[in-house]
Amino acid sequence: MSKKKKSKLNSEQKDFFLKIARLKNPIWITNYLKKDAAMRLVENNFSKLISNPLIKNNILGSTFPIDYKDIETEAMVSQGTLEQEVWWTYLNVIYHSEKINLFISKSEQFNNLLLYAKYEEASNILNEIKYELGLSHWYIENKLLLLSKMNGLREQKEYAETIRKELPNASALLVYHFSQKLENELSYEQYDKNFKKMWRDYPNIKTYFEFKANSLNADPENLVYFLYFERESPTIDKYISLKKTLFSICSNNNYYSLPVDFLNKYLIKLDNNIKDIELKPLLIKSTKLNYNDIDIDNSKYIRILDLYTMGYYKESYDLCLKELENYLTFNINLIEILIKSEIRCATDDNLIEVSIDNNSIIFNIYEYYKSIILKDKNLINSINKLLKIALELSSLSISTVITQFIYKNIPFYNIPVADSSLKTGGLHTFLYDVREQSIIDDARYRILITDMQKTYQESITYQLLNKENFNIDEKIPSFRLQKYNIKINPETIPKEQQIEIYKDIIKNGNILDKYYAIVELSYLYFKYKEIQNCIKAIVEGYLFNKSLIYNLPLQEIIEYIEQYHSTDFDKDIETSILYELYSKYISNKFDSQKMIRYEIFLEENGYTKPSELINNYERFDKNKLDFFLQFNCKSQILDSSIYFENTEEVESERINICQFLVEQKVSSSHILLKEIKNITEQSLISKYIQVIEQNKIYVNEEGIKSKLQSNLAEYYLRYIDLVKNSTTLKRDLNNKVLINNTFGVNIPYPKNDIIPLLQNALSDVKEYFVFSNEYGLNGFISTNIRHGKLYNFLTSSLIKSNLFIKQDNAYWQINFQIDAKIMEILATFSNDIEKSINGFKDQYIQIVTDKENTKNGLFRYDLTEEISIAIYNQLDEEPSFEEFENILLEVLWRHTEINLENIRYIILNELIPKIQHIFKELNLKIETIQNKNNLSEIRDVIRHESTILQRNLETLKQWFTRQTISSIADFEFTLPVSITKEVIKNVHANNFIKLNADIKIKDKFKGLFLKGFVDILYILFDNAIKHSDSECEKINLLLDKSDEKQYEYRLYVTNQIKENLNIKLNTQKIEEIRDNIRNKMYGQSVGTEGGTGFYKIVKILTYDMVMGNRFIDFYYQGDKFIVEIHFGKRKE
């Protein structure tokens, strides 16, 4: 194969790079990539694109500059839509994800050190960031902040003036405002005025400066301009700006109307590649995940809250202080408890000192928080000071946390307007956005915060914050005191009283107390062996909040039930749900019991099918019944029920259940709708598979007629001529046949020319009907039966169950601790099965010829004189040409049907008994194993697989019937793809394919082409799996319009090749195959078992599907093997 062939790109990529080549100008190329090219192509080829130095700078801009003058790199590209700007910035960021992750790690260290006034250590981290990641606006802003804290205003201003001289214009202006906002005497209000003055001086970059200096104060409508201006900035700043942009989009409920799929896709991609905890809330906000579906650990916070509630204020204070060092920037609640603990200690005459450095930012925040909580005389000043800190720290996440704290803790309507920065109904303008956005903090605490907001009105915290003259000695709610009494002295409170306390907490407590009480109540029931109540508590707790499941005694209760086999709660719906939860969260160990529990629950309540519950919907708790129907009544469970006779009934029942749940508007309706769609599609696929799998004996009669048209026409004309002159021949022949058959003699037949003519005609037709690899039985038997399909069909389930093993397969020994002898027993069993299947195939599924190895074949065609006489008898005096050729084919079909009946007889009376005997021997040998304690599992598997194989052997009999495919409706190409994928799954039990099918053509193909397409795809997928190192083979399939003008369609299939594959040797084989196809020297190979499947693909296209206009090519490209098939005549 030529180098040109090897490097051949698919059509889409070729067009993509041709377009780039034609544009030539780097600016035009960049604009094309950003605004007009397919996003997928740009993403897939991004590394290659930026390897071109002419367009690299235009795409990446500045990356990690070393010199201040390089902090902006000119990137000539036009402005796009907001969607395009987000995607363009994403490409830059994700390409440098490794360095972005380094920045996130280092910047978090810097933040905490800075907040706690550990300035020398913070300076070291900042220098490391500069050394490893270059300069950025973020670096400059925080360098100025650090200098102002360490050495005062003068030094940071000198540094700012020095670097401004080296910086490009826009960056120099930014540095001026970075420096200005750090001036101690400059109020937030004055800074805001100065900032607005700058807008007037530089109106063309107003929106960019808004976001860079203080994004919360920016106009959201200008978001698109901000990202566009950021294209020239360093990569670190691009990432921060992208995050701010996504935050603004998510927080404004997608005010910008970006496609939801687009937003979610790139948020997920960012989150997968960049380890930034601040991305989590954006992802949740965008994708609308249910908070209760996210498992988080609130144990430390709950411990602090417990200590505070129980009156251990010093302990809660100490623990808060310790945790704040790690989590301050993400959790404002800890500071609140810290302050309240200190206040409580002070009222108890046990004053404690705050051990935080008085000069640190943390201490200032602490003091201003405290002033706001107490609403003391410094309230207004504290708000302004906190706003100023938020401004100074605008590059850090704590800036947003501070503004949110102010909003949450200030009753705006009660505050007098004592300062121009405060307005009735709200704080400074930028806080309106904060209030509307309801920003979610750190992902670890999002559930906690959400729940606190829900129960805010009833909480102690609210009482402290909401009353101007609050009473510090306000009583703690009685149910919380009771909760702690149970924890401290459980033995002093009777069981019944404990249960009532927990029920009261569940009914009246806040969210955290409810969680606690649900868990404790379930364990209390289990402790006193109130099993029925325990089951109900677990199920109801799970339905209240799924994340509680790991704290409930699920495993303990199931193991108890299994040990004591109690039947007291068989009638309860909760018992079935309990087993489903165990299967979902613990283990599939009791899945067989899960099926039994389903049956018992229905029978105990007088039902046979779950759909009958729908008519008695009010009889059960809605949430529990919805769960039972959705999860306990899946198709796999229904399939095991004796009340459903076939797959169709199971599918119908499941669809009815799903439709009912959708009508009830359950939260997972979208999943159920998808399940309905999948069941419907799978049902259709199964029907087509059954049709295709049970019709494997086929002859291309039209192809034979076409090939022999001139010969048969000549025979026909001679026959008509001869018949006219043989008035008594038919009677004489029939008399001789009668005498010979009656008396067992062999009297010669009257000499004539008609019978020899018919014998010759029949012999010519037989040659194509039986032996032709293109049109006849031999080719179809090879493609549909002998070419690995029969063997794979009968062994796939055995392989999957680990009964059919290769050497040294220690599955049963390792997983079930069965004696090592099992390996020898199963190896013998596997060998016997293999010999039986291959013996049947090699001995009987053969066409009898002169070759020795075909003498036992069951496809026999001994065409005697009597057969030709019979043909003569059936023909009219002057038959039509069509009748003449049809009777010749029908005679051969009659012989074929006799042969097929003989094969079915052999399967029934030889192969099936042989297989049954092998299984019987296996069972006997299993019982010779000394330790029988661990044999139950393998006994069940043997019993199951024996049934499966018996069923498959019955199906195998149906393979050997004449093909009678009924009319198949026209179809889209997705149908043969789905069918083939299912067939492959059934055949290759221990391998599966991950298929990426991109079917761009919506044209419908004729129904008669379905089988041909399935056979072609099967060969391609089967080949990929056989030449793969992986259990999961990734295959890409594309069907689109052919780029070759003489063809209509192109099928393009790629798969990964083995690492150690000798490509050079295989390329030589490919060249040989290609030459044989080109020279039409492939017919003999079609009828041969094994070997390449490409000859068979050509045969299917050319003869079965009569795609005279077709082209096939196959080649290696890098680590991929590629097959291209062009077919169909292009319409003019």
pLDDT in tens, 426-456: 233 333 332 222 223 333 234 333 443 443 3
| Whether pLDDT at 725 is above 70 | no
Instruction: Report, as an integer, the average pLDDT of 172-179.
Output: 81
Q: Please provide the average confidence, as pLDDT, over all residues in the chain.
A: 76
Closest among 605, 593, 609 to 641, alpha carbons compared = 609
Instruction: Report, as an integer, the average pLDDT of 843-857.
Output: 79
pLDDT value of residue 457: 41
In the chain, % of residues over pLDDT 90? 9
Closest among 350, 372, 368, 371 to 360, alpha carbons compared = 368
Handedness of CA 863, 864, 869, 874 (dihedral sign): negative
Q: Which fold has domain 974-1129?
A: Heat Shock Protein 90 (3.30.565)
119-133, 761-775, 1007-1021 — most confident range: 119-133
| Whether pLDDT at 577 is above 90 | yes
pLDDT value of residue 627: 93
Confidence of residue 966 (pLDDT cuts 50, 70, 90): low
Which SS3 state, helix, strand or coil, does residue 1113 take?
A: strand
Amino acid at 86: V
User: Directed axis angle between helix 379-392 and helix 188-201, to 10°?
Assistant: 40
Closest among 960, 1019, 320 to 695, alpha carbons compared = 960
124-145: per-residue pLDDT in tens? 999 999 989 999 989 998 999 8
1055, β-bridge pairs: 1035, 1121
Domain assignments of the chain as residue spans, ordered by start? 3-60, 91-289, 293-466, 477-572+580-591, 758-959, 974-1129
926-963: per-residue pLDDT in tens? 888 877 777 777 888 888 888 888 888 888 888 888 76
> Which residues, 6+ apart, have CB-to-CB distance to 719 below 8 Å?
754, 757, 758, 761, 875, 884
pLDDT value of residue 204: 55
pLDDT value of residue 910: 92
Closest among 507, 546, 581 to 667, alpha carbons compared = 546
Confidence of residue 285 (pLDDT cuts 50, 70, 90): low
Query: Any idea which of 172-176, 344-348, 598-602, 992-996 has the lowest mean pLDDT?
Result: 344-348
Which tokens belong to 355? 């051990």
Q: Which residues of 1000-1021 are buried (b: 16+ CB within 10 A; e: fewer)?
A: ebeeebeeebbbbbbbbbbbbb
Closest among 203, 129, 229, 140 to 176, alpha carbons compared = 140
pLDDT value of residue 427: 32
Q: CA-to-CA distance for 775 and 892, rounded, in angstroms?
A: 14
455-514: per-residue pLDDT in tens? 334 444 444 434 444 443 344 455 555 665 666 566 778 888 888 888 888 887 666 677
Confidence of residue 517 (pLDDT cuts 50, 70, 90): confident
23-to-17, 38, 43, 44, 298 alpha-carbon distances in Å = 10, 16, 19, 20, 57
